[in-house]
Structure 1
Amino acid sequence: MKKCRGRPKCPRRVEQTPDITYFKPRGVPLSGLEVVSLTIEELEALRLVDIEGLRQEDAATRVGVSRRAFWEDLKAARMKVALALSTGKAIEIKGGNYIRIETADTNEDADKMLTREKEI
């Protein structure tokens, strides 16, 4: 059994949870694939930095953790996504240690993403 080191992981504040929780290579049945699990808070770290364009310090404040803890979540998320994409594994988004919080405008993120895509 893996032994935990350090302090217990505190819950992250998450603004969005996904409606779609599985992604897989096209044309391959899910039953024949290995699955990489991405936690809700790891997905939130990706969303805040890579979609919203926040600096890690600002994103860490938003989820309620230290910059170091946020960096660990972001690093784990990027590694899992890169692994799945480069080796043809499915990605399952589930679980974690988080608290769902409400935001003032849920469409604001979608608008930011569209604006950012146009800039690229």
Structure 2
Amino acid sequence: MPRPIKVRKVEFFPKSTYFIPLGKQKCKIDEVNLKVEELEAIRLKDIDGLSQEECAQKMAISRQTFQNIIDSARKKIAIALTEGKAININGGNYTTKHCKFKCLDCGNVYEIKYEQDRRSCPECGSSNVACDKGRKFCHRWCKKSE
């Protein structure tokens, strides 16, 4: 039986999450799914220029796991670019250190996992949640769509 996947820490969430080659229609194109933690690995290593060890520490994973994630991300991006596929950024096993949320009904305090938990409490399902720092929304990406 394989080990369970460890949740990776992610600090960056893109504004744009879908990229299509110019001149192609979304309904007629294959896509590659790039996980959020794969994008984070690319950002840390290739844009921020951190060492593999520093990247692994920031994401709270081993160096080997980081290497596996970045290899997967680079392969997916290369396939999309060479085969003219769309890139869809979503999903994965990640958490963020930016914000902890608190359910105002049951008192549960939890780290958000991006879209899933910022709208409702994972414990009781209540939508009466707020940033645990005392503000209703502490970051642009915490903001609820109303």
Which TM-score applies when normalising by structure 2?
0.66
Which of 28, 41, 48 matches 2:37?
41
Distance 2:56 2:15 in 1: 24
Higher relative contact order (CA 8 A, sep 6+): 1
SS of residue paired to 2:88: strand
- Provide Cα deviations, 1:61-83, integer angstroms capped at 9, x if missing partner: 01000000010000000000000
Gaps of 5+ in 2: 100-146
> Is residue 50 of structure 2 the alignment partner of residue 54 of structure 1?
yes
When the two chains are superposed, the root-mean-square deviation of aligned CA atoms in Å is 1.3
Which protein has the bigger helix share?
A: 1
- Same amino acid, percent of matched pairs: 45
Gaps of 5+ in 1: 104-120
Q: Could you list the structure 1 runs, at least 4 aligned residues long, displaced by more than 3 angstroms after superposition.
A: none
- How many residues get paired? 99
Which TM-score applies when normalising by structure 1?
0.79
Q: Compute the displacement of 1:101 (Å).
A: 2.0
